[in-house]
Amino acid sequence: MKKLMVGNWKMNKTVKDCAEFFEIFNKGFTEKCEAWIASQAIHFPLVEELKTTSTKAGLQNCSEHVEGAYTGEISPRALRDMNGHFVILGHSERRQYFGETSRSLNAKIRTALKEGLAVIYCVGETLPEREAGHTLSLIEDQLHQGLNDQSLATAENLIIAYEPVWAIGTGKTASPAQAQEVHAHIRQMLKNKYPSFGDKTRILYGGSVKPDNVTELLAQKDIDGGLVGGASLKAKDFLALCGDK
Ligand code: 13P
C-alpha cells in the first residue's frame, strides 16, 4: 500500500499562499504516495478548486453535530457536501487549547464517520508523561475512549496519528525506534479491537517530520505515513516528503 502524507496547515496561509503552493505541488506530484491537505475551514473551497483530483482535501476539526444552532462550528455534513474527504480529530492543540478530551472526541468521530468522512484520530503523550513512563498506557486510554463503540470504522475511513506532543513544532523528532515502539503498540491494540482490519489500519507519525528524517521514519514497519505541520507549508518540502523533487 502507498504511504499517506497528510499536510496539516493549521491556522496558516493566505489565498496567495494557497495558489502558490498548488502551482508548484501540482507540477511535481507523481503519486508515489497519497497526499492529503487539511487547510483552515475558510480556505477549503479554494483548496478544492486549486488541487488536482489525486490530492484529497479535508479539515482540522469538525463538530459532533451535523447541523443546527451551534454558532461558529463546522458541520461534518457540510464538509462532506463540499466534497471534503477527511477530518483530523483530537490534535493535541485542540486538546490543549480547546478542552477536547478523548471522551468528547468519541462523539465527533462517530458523527464524522456516519457522515462519510475519513477520520485521522490523533493520540500522543506530553514530555512529563513520557518521562514518567506513562506513554503506552496513556495512548491506550486515548484509543479506548476515542474508539469505543465506533461500529462504522473500516480500514479505509479510520486512520490513527501518533504525535508525541513534545515533538510538535519543536524540531525534536521521536527517533525512528521510539516512534516504532509506540506504533507497534497501537498496531497490536488495533488488531485486538478490529480483528478483520486492524493490521491494515494506517498509523501515521507526526512531530517535526522533515525531508531529512522522513525516509528513516517511513522505513519502520508500522509507520504508514506522516502527519506534517511546518514542512507541509512549503510545496517543495511537502513534495520531498511525498518522494518527489
Ligand atoms: P510539525 O510537523 O510542525 O512538528 O507539526 C506536527 C503536527 O502537529 C501535525 O499535525
Q: Are 143 and 124 in contact (CB under 8 A)?
A: no
The active-site residue out of 93, 100, 125, 163 is 163
What pLDDT band is residue 202 in, cutting at 50, 70 and 90?
Answer: very high
Closest residue by CA, ligand 1 atom 2: 229
Look up the CATH number of the domain holding residue 69: 3.20.20.70
User: How far does residue 68's CA lie from ligand 1's centre (Å)?
Assistant: 32
Pocket test of ligand 1: the residue of 209, 214, 234, 238 to mutate, having most ligand atoms within 8 Å of its CB, is 209
Average pLDDT over residues 131-140: 96
pLDDT of residue 193: 96
What percent of the chain shows pLDDT beyond 90?
A: 97
Sole residue written with cell 456516519 = 114
The question of whether 85 is a catalytic residue gets the answer no
DSSP H or E stretch at residue 109: helix 102-114
Taking Cα atoms as reference points, which of 239, 245, 242, 162 lies closest to residue 207?
Answer: 162
Atom of ligand 1 nearest to the CA of 209: 2
What pLDDT band is residue 124 in, cutting at 50, 70 and 90?
Answer: very high
User: How far does residue 84's CA lie from ligand 1's centre (Å)?
Assistant: 21
Average pLDDT over residues 198-215: 97
Sort 14 into a burial class: Cβ within 10 Å, 0-12 / 13-18 / 19+. Answer: exposed
pLDDT of residue 245: 81
Neighbours of 100 (CB within 10 A): 19
| Residues 141-198: tens digit of each pLDDT | 999 999 999 999 999 999 999 999 999 988 888 899 999 999 999 999 999 999 999 9
The question of whether 216 is a catalytic residue gets the answer no
Taking Cα atoms as reference points, which of 125, 146, 134, 131 lies closest to residue 189?
Answer: 146
What residues flank ligand 1, with Cβ below 6 Å?
A: 8, 91, 163, 168-169, 206-209, 227-231
First to last CA, the chain: 21
The active-site residue out of 43, 85, 91, 183 is 91
| Residues 3-43: tens digit of each pLDDT | 999 999 999 999 999 999 999 999 999 999 999 999 999 99
* Residue type present at position 25: F
Quote the number of domains for the chain. 1
| Residues 107-123: tens digit of each pLDDT | 999 999 999 999 999 99
Q: Look up the domain containing 97 and give its range.
A: 4-241
Cβ neighbours for 211, distance < 8 A, ≥ 6 positions apart: 231, 237, 240, 241
3-state SS, residue 24: helix
pLDDT of residue 76: 98
Backbone angles phi and psi of 11, in degrees to 5: -100, 60
| Residues 41-82: tens digit of each pLDDT | 999 999 999 999 999 999 999 999 999 999 999 999 999 999
Q: Are 238 and 55 in contact (CB under 8 A)?
A: no
